[in-house]
């Protein structure tokens, strides 16, 4: 989506309030975040939502708007990454007739459209540096000047910014202005990836089943225990959006009353950048595999006692160290569940 605008009263208001009330935040970490969101929503503070793709940034932005005194005003959403460098300014600030070749009429920018409401600037990290300067000025002066005009227009907009890139790194690399970063980073709202809030997975599954069974006019299926295990162990790189699509598709193909693991049609769950993930995918990986095979041959010839145990211990401890003792990360690297990792760490005497 490049830009959307909701103004109330509007039929979409109904669907918006349903969507807002259907926010699932069941994991203890998510509940903490929800109470932060509910505390800051009624204020005027700029919120800065960061999270991987599909973690619910836009849904949270809409929720903040719906809980704020501005809820009767418009909610405008614009994806800053969807426009070229030259277009993005006219989208944000608007232009007057004749401002540039092709400007045959005037155009209202998103700041003006959001007046009295909330402006959601998605992918703010994609804004060119020249636009960042202008945005900072708008936020400080609380007025915009359309391209091709000299007349400032006062604006009364609450800003919510979002990004799925690391803005701190973009600041260090000089791609994002530090002053603008501090201006928007008033209330940071970090949305964790789904794999780091496993308590949300099954409530979300239930939520999406109830939505899609209604739309597809199907019965509510039972979840096979292997399906539950897979849902909990899969790393969900596309987060909640991927989970939603998976449930939608699974309900379409599920025959009968039981949702089986194959209905989920998930890729075999090898996490990114693991050794297995690289197998056969490039020359370096094949070379590494050959070296490992040679090493194993040597071990077999030397007749190591408890080779399996030794290799497993090395693998687990190295992943654990590499992840700086973060169990979720280490389990992800190894492609196993956190529970299995904990059992192994206990077995090797690393944790009690
Ligand atoms: N906590 C939640 N409860 C229920 N549904 C959710 C939740 N979070 C996200 N969703 C649903 O997941 C989908 C993706 O959410 P959303 O578009 O807000 O993610 P996003 O972070 O903005 O993604 P992207 O970075 O790709 O733009 C939407 O259909 C949304 O309704
Ligand atoms: Mg989004």
For residue 79, how far is its CA from the centre of ligand 2 (angstroms)?
8
Q: Is 102 part of any domain?
A: yes
- pLDDT for the residue numbered 224: 94
- 103 or 192: which carries more pLDDT confidence? 192
Say if residue 159 is in the same domain as residue 222: no
For residue 30, how far is its CA from the centre of ligand 2 (angstroms)?
18
Say if residue 181 is in the same domain as residue 281: no
For residue 122, how far is its CA from the centre of ligand 2 (angstroms)?
6
Q: Is 106 part of any domain?
A: yes
Say if residue 181 is in the same domain as residue 206: no
pTM for the structure as a whole = 0.74
Say if residue 80 is in the same domain as residue 223: no
Say if residue 250 is in the same domain as residue 298: no
Which residue's CA is the closest to the ligand 1 atom numbered 15?
A: 56
DSSP-derived secondary structure for 20-57: HHT----SHHHHHHHHHHHHHTTS-PPEEEEESTTSSH
Q: Which ligand is nearest to the CA of 16?
A: 1
Say if residue 184 is in the same domain as residue 220: no
Say if residue 202 is in the same domain as residue 216: yes
CATH number at residue 247: 1.10.8.60
Say if residue 30 is in the same domain as residue 137: yes
Q: How confident is the model at residue 343 (pLDDT cuts 50, 70, 90)?
A: confident
Say if residue 172 is in the same domain as residue 32: yes
Given a cut of 60, is residue 122 above it in pLDDT?
yes
For residue 207, how far is its CA from the centre of ligand 1 (angstroms)?
13
Q: Pick the last residue of a domain from 169, 192, 215.
A: 192
Which residue's CA is the closest to the ligand 1 atom numbered 25?
A: 53
Q: Is 336 part of any domain?
A: yes
Q: Which ligand is nearest to the CA of 54?
A: 1
pLDDT digits (tens, 9 = 90+) for 50-82: 999 999 999 999 999 999 999 999 999 999 999
* 3-state DSSP percent of the chain in helix, strand and coil, to 5: 55, 10, 35
How does the average pLDDT of the chain come out, rounded? 86
- Pocket lining: 164 vs ligand 1, CB cutoff 6 Å: yes
User: Which ligand 1 atom is at minimum distance from the Cα of 53?
Assistant: 25
CATH number at residue 338: 1.10.10
- pLDDT for the residue numbered 278: 46
Say if residue 236 is in the same domain as residue 292: no
Say if residue 177 is in the same domain as residue 292: no
Distances (CA, A) of 306 to 108, 303, 309, 312, 327: 72, 9, 5, 10, 25
Q: Is 269 part of any domain?
A: no
Q: Pick the last residue of a domain from 204, 229, 264.
A: 264
Rounded to whole angstroms, the Cα distance separating 245 from 235 reads: 15
- Number of structural domains the chain divides into: 3
Tokens of 194: 């789904």
CATH number at residue 152: 3.40.50.300
Q: Is 289 part of any domain?
A: yes
For residue 117, how far is its CA from the centre of ligand 2 (angstroms)?
19
Q: Is 132 part of any domain?
A: yes
Q: Is 352 part of any domain?
A: no
Q: Rg of the Cα trace of the chain? A: 25
Q: Pick the last residue of a domain from 219, 245, 264.
A: 264
Q: Give the three-state DSSP class for 13.
A: helix
Sequence-distant contacts of 98-104: CB under 8 A, at least 24 apart:
98/148, 99/146, 99/147, 99/148, 99/149, 100/147, 100/148, 103/147, 103/148
Q: Is 270 part of any domain?
A: no
Pocket test of ligand 1: the residue of 1, 35, 54, 194 to mutate, having most ligand atoms within 8 Å of its CB, is 54
Domain, as residue range, for 142? 3-192
Q: Give the three-state DSSP class for 254.
A: coil
pLDDT digits (tens, 9 = 90+) for 282-323: 555 556 666 676 677 777 777 777 788 888 888 988 888 888
For residue 89, give every residue at least 6 positions away whose Cβ sits within 8 Å of its Cβ, in sequence order, or none.
Answer: 131, 134, 147
Q: How confident is the model at residue 2 (pLDDT cuts 50, 70, 90)?
A: low
- Pocket lining: 54 vs ligand 1, CB cutoff 6 Å: yes
- pLDDT for the residue numbered 285: 59
Which residue's CA is the closest to the ligand 1 atom numbered 7?
A: 56
Given a cut of 70, is residue 276 above it in pLDDT?
no
Say if residue 291 is in the same domain as residue 326: yes
Rounded to whole angstroms, the Cα distance separating 250 from 243 reads: 10
């Amino acid at each position: 989506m490049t830009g959307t605008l909701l103004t109330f009263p509007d039929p979409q208001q109904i669907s918006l309030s349903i969507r807002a009330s259907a926010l699932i935040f069941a994991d203890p970490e998510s509940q903490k975040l929800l109470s932060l969101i509910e505390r800051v929503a009624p204020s005027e503070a700029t919120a800065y939502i960061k999270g991987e793709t599909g973690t619910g940034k836009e849904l949270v932005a809409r929720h903040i708007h719906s809980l704020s005194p501005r809820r009767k005003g418009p909610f405008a959403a614009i994806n800053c990454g969807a426009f070229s460098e030259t277009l993005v300014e006219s989208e944000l600030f608007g232009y007057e007739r004749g401002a540039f070749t092709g400007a045959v009429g005037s155009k209202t920018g998103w700041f003006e459209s959001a007046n009295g409401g909330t402006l959601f600037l998605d992918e703010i990290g994609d804004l060119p540096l020249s636009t960042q300067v202008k945005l900072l000025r708008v936020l400080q002066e609380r007025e915009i000047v359309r391209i091709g005009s000299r007349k400032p227009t006062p604006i009364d907009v609450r800003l919510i910014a979002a990004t799925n890139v690391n803005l701190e790194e973009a600041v260090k690399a000089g791609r994002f202005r530090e002053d603008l970063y501090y201006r928007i980073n008033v209330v940071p709202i970090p949305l964790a990836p789904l794999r780091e809030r496993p308590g949300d997975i099954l409530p979300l599954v239930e939520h999406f089943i109830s939505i899609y069974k209604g739309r597809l006019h199907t019965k509510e299926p039972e979840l096979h225990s292997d399906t539950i295990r897979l849902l909990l162990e899969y790393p969900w790189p596309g987060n909640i959006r991927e989970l939603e699509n998976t449930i939608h598709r699974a309900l379409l193909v599920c025959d009968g009353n039981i949702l089986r693991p194959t209905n989920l049609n998930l890729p075999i769950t090898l996490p990114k950048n693991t050794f297995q993930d690289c197998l056969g995918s490039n020359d370096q990986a094949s070379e590494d595999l050959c070296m490992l095979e040679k090493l194993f041959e040597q071990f077999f010839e030397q007749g190591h006692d408890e080779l399996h145990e030794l290799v497993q211990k090395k693998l687990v401890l190295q992943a654990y160290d590499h992840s700086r003792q973060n169990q979720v990360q280490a389990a992800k690297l190894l492609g196993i569940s956190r529970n299995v990792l904990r059992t192994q760490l206990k077995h090797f005497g690393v944790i009690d």
